[in-house]
Chain A
Amino acid sequence: MPDWLQSVLQPAGPQAERVHALWNFMLAVSVIVYVVVVGVLLLATFRPRHSEAELAEGAPGERGVTRLVSLATAVTVLTLFAFLLFDFSTGRALTSSVKPAVSIEVTGHQWWWEATYYHDIPNKRVTTANEIHIPVGRPVLLRLNSQDVIHSFWAPDLNGKRDLIPGKESSLWLEADTPGVYRGQCAEFCGYQHAKMAFLIVADRPADFQRWYAAQADTAKTPTDSLTSRGLEVFLTSPCVMCHTIHGTPAGATLGPDLTHVASRRYIGAGALPNTRGNLAGWILDAQGIKPGAHMPPNSLSPADLQALLAYLGTLK
């Protein structure tokens, strides 16, 4: 079995592990039931039959058959009860009342994920998009909301999914056992680019997480050379500033993802493309070619402006 990019069958956290155990149980029981029922059916269908007399003789008789059918029904009921018991105990084990190590408010948008980390001190709150870091081995609570339509947050390696319904907050616990990158995807049809609304959960070791968090909480690096200064100027005088925030600059719009630390992310376009200079250029010039229907319009920039902009964005780590 190959290593999947995202899968229920490769649990990497306590919740997903419990569900995986339940799956194994249900699969085993199902296989047994299937083999038995189909076996009896095939036997009934293909068993050798000779004469009518033999047919009458060999038949168990009405009462005998009734008893067998009743027995089979009873076994069915018991099997279902066993399943229910395993299921309810799994469900109970998955409810948690611990205090989360990290609390993150995740807001679904058409077609990207906004994540705001809660912190007592307001200006230490981090807002990012599509790439959510968590400390490994610690419980994390996600508070889920939507700005537009119903989405669903699903990182199969870690836990089941939860819908993001506008106007109704829901919550989801995540915990990763080992450091790594776990991919997830929107799992409730939400329009044109539902297919390309992915996210990454990056489970960092505690020290790495602190370092990441501190960097994210910082404002954007001020440009130090003429090219990157020109890049910031391009950003502030182009349509970019209508939708995106870069903390530490006048750009403060919240229609699109926060770009303050865009260069620190592995992917762009909610998992549409790896975050390379070339891909970013293509995205800026014509996002519609990559994600038709996305709310980002094409932008015509001169090659010089584009280079400057890319240089500037490249500094936003």
Chain B
Amino acid sequence: MSAPITADPAAAEPEARASVRELHETLERTWSDRPGLLGWLMSVDHKSLGKRYVITAFVFFLLGGIEAAMMRMQLARPESRLIGPDLYNQLFTTHGTTMMFLFAVPVMVAMGLYLVPLMIGSRDVAFPRLNAYGYYTYLIGGLFLYTAFFLNTGPDAGWFAYTPLSGPEFAPGKRVDVWAQTITFTEISAIIGAIELIVTIFKQRAPGMSLNRMPLLVWSMLVMAFMILFAMPWVAVDSQFLAMDRLIGTHFFNQAEGGDALLWQHLFWFFGHPEVYIIFIPALGYVSTIIATFTRREIFGYPAMVLSLVATGFLGFGLWVHHMFATNIPQLGESFFTAASAMIAIPTGIQFFCWIATIWGGRPRFTTPFLFILGFMVTFLIGGLSGVMVASVPFDLQVHDTFFIVAHLHYVLIGGAVFPLWGAFYYWFPKLTGRMLSERLGRWNFALFFIGMNVTFFPMHLLGLAGMPRRVYTYLAETGWGTLNLVATVGGVTIAASVLVFLYNVARSLANGEVASSDPWEASSTLEWATTSPPPAYNFAHLPVVQGRYPLWSRTVDEPVVTGLRTDQRQLLITTLLDATPDHRHRTPDPTLWPLVAAVATGVTFIALIFTPWALVVGAALVAGPLIAWGWPKPKPGDPIVTEGVR
């Protein structure tokens, strides 16, 4: 393990070197997890939790992919009897729920929780125990959904669960209740992740990293986090209203008693549209980071890039009715949402132009991450253009709820988020694991994914125009949709192959891949590349002092660092919001099992809520215990104590 760059350069002499080694050992003792399984479960280290979070989300991606593969097998031929309507309805519901709630948002949050403290020069997130609780809550929620699915109680009313179909009258049993409570789990973990990111970014940036020197990825995580905070509650409340209609006889959506089926849709889509930007905006951050590194150039137009991210975040809240054009909302209202939905293309367009300008002025290196970014640009653009098309009400009324929309959404989600994410995986894999992924396998991964994705989803534009609605388990041969569906299925197989290549690449690399240095790409600019790969438990021996927007590019030989933080307890440096001047030192808590216990108690409560409302009362007591225990002081010698005498 090479010495971190932020080590004291005065360590040339042996005594100085010894003191440096002593520093590392002390920090290691203070910051590392306890050994063994217990230590792993007690960890509050953002890196350990972040890696787990990413891997868990990836597992859900694979499960969602299997569901997609099964659907494609069924649709490959007309009137196929491979999968009947009941299983098929569960499949597309679980596929959507998994991809949106258990994969896409969590993986972006997880990447943020891992990368942001490193990128801003800090040692952990603001609330490490809360971070652990958020992860375990998410894990339990996902396990819950899949347990129910394998017990044939998987939700089957769509990931959007429109009422009255999802209500007590038309969806008997517990399937939709399972869905509603899965939402609760994922909502809690997302909001916790969002609060972590916001507070960490606001208050823990290294000295000198003023807001206008913050990396674009950190800006994108900040915008994403704010969107999560204000968007997630809408689906959480909506799903609880539905759960109450089903369990205790409320009438939120019951037209007969004054409720309203459209209330469901408004509340859902007020969350649902920001949701896709929550997924998309961090991807824009990956794109900027990867382009900067592999063209060895500052991203053109930093202020415009930041403002575009923020504008997209705000505008994203003003579009939701475009999901409801086919309902009987007034026409004047529709026009507003058409205009807003078209206008949101502008900030993203600006980002595109700035990236192209950056690439033009640089010298691209065609590494796998860069290939995925090129793939993103040519693929997402198609999704963006089809998105502007469906902003039109008359056109949308033709293609809404058809495979044209399936095409559009996958072009923007896979092209716009998954391709950059794959680029991010290849880019940061060395940092997380200390090994390089194979570039050769990476190219195969990219080629198969890119070709497979387009072969699967491009024909769906035509299928939608040719009259094929969504969420159909079969179709007549006379419709003529058979050939295009078969082509799409072949594309799906290709995507599956690309994922297998990726898994093989990862396995091979972990087993005996090339060892990665601190900065294996040799052109990275952000702070995470200033420490070892993987980073030590304490991230940096000395926190860096930042002198420019691209810290590693503006590094001087005798670069300044922060000294004076305690090494015998976990201490973070807190800085001011705007200019990141050092403000105070903050003690963060040691590892503990209580967040896991609290998450289990939370899980039991929400699962029991499917069966009885009294679970809320019992659950509140059950959860309160661990919550109090985790905050209760466990003083160590040397801690400051306040006694009665202090006035």
On A, residues with C-beta under 8 Å from B are 2-9, 16, 18-19, 22-23, 26, 30, 33-34, 37-38, 40-41, 43-45, 47, 49, 55, 59, 65-66, 68-69, 72-73, 76-77, 80, 83-84, 87-88, 90-91, 94-95, 110, 148-150, 152, 154, 156, 159-163, 165-170, 183, 185-196, 271, 292-293
Binding-face segment, B360-368, B501-509, B517-525, B577-585: B360-368
B480 contacts which chain A residues (CB < 8 A)? 2-5
Q: How far is B86's CA from A19's CA once the two chains are assembled, in angstroms?
A: 35
Say whether B467 contacts A87, CB under 8 Å: no
Closest to B475 in A: A195
Say whether A189 contacts B165, CB under 8 Å: yes
A192 contacts which chain B residues (CB < 8 A)? 85-86, 89
B262 contacts which chain A residues (CB < 8 A)? 165, 168
B435 at the interface (CB under 8 A from A): no
B374 at the interface (CB under 8 A from A): yes
User: Whole-angstrom distance from the CB of A147 to the nearest CB of chain B?
Assistant: 11
B143 at the interface (CB under 8 A from A): no
Say whether A47 contacts B170, CB under 8 Å: no
Say whether B394 contacts A160, CB under 8 Å: yes
Say whether B395 contacts A19, CB under 8 Å: yes
Q: How far is B238's CA from A197's CA once the two chains are assembled, in angstroms?
A: 29
A148 contacts which chain B residues (CB < 8 A)? 164, 169-170
B552 at the interface (CB under 8 A from A): no
Say whether B360 contacts A38, CB under 8 Å: no
Q: Known interface pairs A163-B327, A170-B328, A192-B89. Does A5 touch B467 (Cβ–Cβ under 8 Å)? A: yes
Say whether B342 contacts A80, CB under 8 Å: yes
Give the contacting residue for A80; candidates B356, B388, B465; CB below 8 A. Answer: B388
Give the contacting residue for A189; candidates B255, B356, B385, B471; CB below 8 A. Answer: B471
- Interface size in chain B (residues, C-beta < 8 A): 78
B478 at the interface (CB under 8 A from A): yes
Closest to A31 in B: B385
Q: Known interface pairs A37-B352, A160-B394, A167-B255. Does A69 touch B389 (Cβ–Cβ under 8 Å)? A: no
A160 contacts which chain B residues (CB < 8 A)? 326, 394-398, 400
For residues 22 through 81 of chain B, which have their beta carbon under 8 Å from a beta carbon of chain A? Answer: none
Interface SS of B by simple majority = helix
For residues 465 through 501 of chain B, which have their beta carbon under 8 Å from a beta carbon of chain A? Answer: 465-467, 469-476, 478-480
A165 contacts which chain B residues (CB < 8 A)? 261-262, 327-328
User: Whole-angstrom distance from the CB of A198 to the nearest CB of chain B?
Assistant: 8
12 chain-A/chain-B pairs, Cβ below 8 angstroms: A5-B476, A6-B467, A8-B467, A72-B349, A76-B345, A80-B388, A91-B335, A110-B170, A169-B328, A170-B327, A187-B326, A192-B85
B211 at the interface (CB under 8 A from A): no
Closest to B471 in A: A189
Q: How far is B256's CA from A17's CA once the two chains are assembled, in angstroms?
A: 39
Say whether B328 contacts A37, CB under 8 Å: no
Say whether B335 contacts A88, CB under 8 Å: yes
Q: How far is B431's CA from A103's CA once the two chains are assembled, in angstroms?
A: 68
- Encode B327-365 as 1/0 by CB contact (under 8 A) with A: 110010011001100110110011011101101110110
Say whether B343 contacts A91, CB under 8 Å: no
Q: How far is B354's CA from A40's CA once the two chains are assembled, in angstroms?
A: 12
Q: How far is B335's CA from A18's CA once the two chains are assembled, in angstroms?
A: 18
Q: How far is B386's CA from A68's CA once the two chains are assembled, in angstroms?
A: 25
B346 contacts which chain A residues (CB < 8 A)? 73, 76-77, 80
Q: Known interface pairs A191-B170, A193-B85. Does A41 touch B359 (Cβ–Cβ under 8 Å)? A: yes
B474 contacts which chain A residues (CB < 8 A)? 195-196
Given contacts A23-B398, A194-B472, A195-B474, 11 further A-B contacts (CB under 8 A): A5-B479, A8-B466, A41-B359, A84-B339, A87-B394, A90-B392, A110-B170, A154-B469, A169-B328, A188-B401, A193-B85
B173 at the interface (CB under 8 A from A): no
User: Whole-angstrom distance from the CB of B475 to the nearest CB of chain A?
Assistant: 7
Closest to B335 in A: A88
Say whether A90 contacts B465, CB under 8 Å: no
B447 at the interface (CB under 8 A from A): no
User: Whole-angstrom distance from the CB of B523 to the nearest CB of chain A?
Assistant: 15
Say whether B363 contacts A49, CB under 8 Å: yes
Q: Known interface pairs A2-B480, A73-B353, A150-B164. Does A189 touch B470 (Cβ–Cβ under 8 Å)? A: yes
B249 contacts which chain A residues (CB < 8 A)? none
B237 at the interface (CB under 8 A from A): no
Q: How far is B172's CA from A293's CA once the two chains are assembled, in angstroms?
A: 14
Closest to A49 in B: B363
B345 contacts which chain A residues (CB < 8 A)? 76, 80
User: Whole-angstrom distance from the CB of B272 to the nearest CB of chain A?
Assistant: 15
Closest to B404 in A: A8
Give the contacting residue for B326; candidates A156, A161, A293; CB below 8 A. Answer: A161
Say whether A156 contacts B467, CB under 8 Å: yes
Q: How far is B384's CA from A34's CA once the two chains are assembled, in angstroms?
A: 10
Closest to A75 in B: B349
Closest 6 CB pairs of A and B: A160-B397, A167-B255, A195-B472, A6-B467, A44-B360, A170-B328
